Amino acid sequence: MPKLLRELKAFYKKEGREHLPWRKTKDPYKILVSELMLQQTQVERVIPFYNRFLKTFPSARALARAPLSRVLQHWQGLGYNRRAKFLHQAAKILTREGWRGQKLPGVGPYTAGAVAAFAFNKPEVFIETNIRTVFFHHLFQGESLEVGDNELLPLVAEALKKSKMQPRDFYAGLMDYGSYLKKQGVRLNNKSKHYTKQSTFEGSARQLRGAILRELLKKTLTLAQLIKNLSPRTKGEIERELKRLQTDGLLLRRGRHWTAAE
C-alpha cells in the first residue's frame, strides 16, 4: 500500500489529466453527463461529445425540457443509446426534486460514488476499471486467483484514508494512473471476477441498433424501408432489434411506421 500511494501521488502531481473538461467543474449535472458518457467509451472520444452536448443542454432543466429525439440526435456516435435516455430521465427527476440522494435511472453504485466524490468531494468508496488496474498492479500482480470488488473496496477505502488526499483528487489520480498503466501494456483486469470481454462491434446487434436509430432519427420509416436501407441485414435481425429498441423506450410504432421516441 505505501508504494501504491507514493506512485499515485507522484504520478498525479506530474501527469494528472487536468485538461479534461469535467475536471474543471464541480457542477453535479455536468459530472453526471461525463460519467454516463464515459461508460464503456474511451476518454478522448468523449471530450468533443461532452462539450457539444453541454453547449446544447447546459443544465438539467434544459435537458429535461428537450424531447428525447433531440437528445438522441446529440448522442449519435457515442453508442449505447440507452444512456441518453437514462440521462434524460435523470434530468427530469433532478429538475423536479433536486440532488437529494434519490435513485436515478442508469446510475449504479460507481456513478453515484463518482458524482459524490467529484462534485461534492465526499469520501465515497467505489471502483471502476482503471482503479482495479492500479490495485491489481500493486497488490495482486503475482497471484492467479480472481479477485472480487468486495475484496478491493476495503483496500480502496484504506488507501483513501491513508492518502490524506481530497476525495476528488484521490479518485482522479487513480483513474489517470490506471489509464497510464493500461497504455504501458498492463492488462490485469482479467483477474477481476467482474471482468467481461467486450464483444466485437462490427456486425453486432449493437451496431444494428445504432444504425436503426440513426435512420429513424432522420425520418419515420416502415419495416420494408428499413430493410432496404440497412441491407444486407436481414428482416429477422431488424425486427428483433426494433422490438428491443421499442422495449428500451427509444422507438415508437405507429401502425406500419417506426419513429424515434419523442
58-80 pLDDT, tens per residue?
A: 999 999 999 999 999 999 999 89
Could you tell me the domains of the chain? 2-191 (1.10.340.30), 205-260 (1.10.10.10)
Q: Are 126 and 109 in contact (CB under 8 A)?
A: yes
pLDDT at 144 over 80: no
SS (H, E, C) 146-205: CECHHHHHHHHHHHHHHHCCCHHHHHHHHHHHHHHHHHCCCCCHHHECCCCCCCCCCCCH
How high is the pLDDT of residue 142?
67
Residue 51, number of CB atoms within 10 A of its CB = 10
* Residues annotated as part of the active site: 35
How high is the pLDDT of residue 149?
87
Cell of 248: 428500451
pTM confidence score: 0.90
Residue with cell 480502496: 156
The partner residues of 260 in beta bridges, in order of sequence, read 251
Rounded to whole angstroms, how far apart are CA atoms 54 and 74?
10
183-233 pLDDT, tens per residue?
A: 888 776 665 655 555 667 677 898 999 999 999 999 999 999 999 999 999
28-59 pLDDT, tens per residue?
A: 999 999 999 999 889 999 999 999 999 999 99
C-alpha distances out from residue 147 to 93, 135, 140, 186, Å? 36, 11, 9, 17
Query: If we measure between CA atoms, which residue out of 247, 202, 209 comes closest to residue 76?
Result: 209
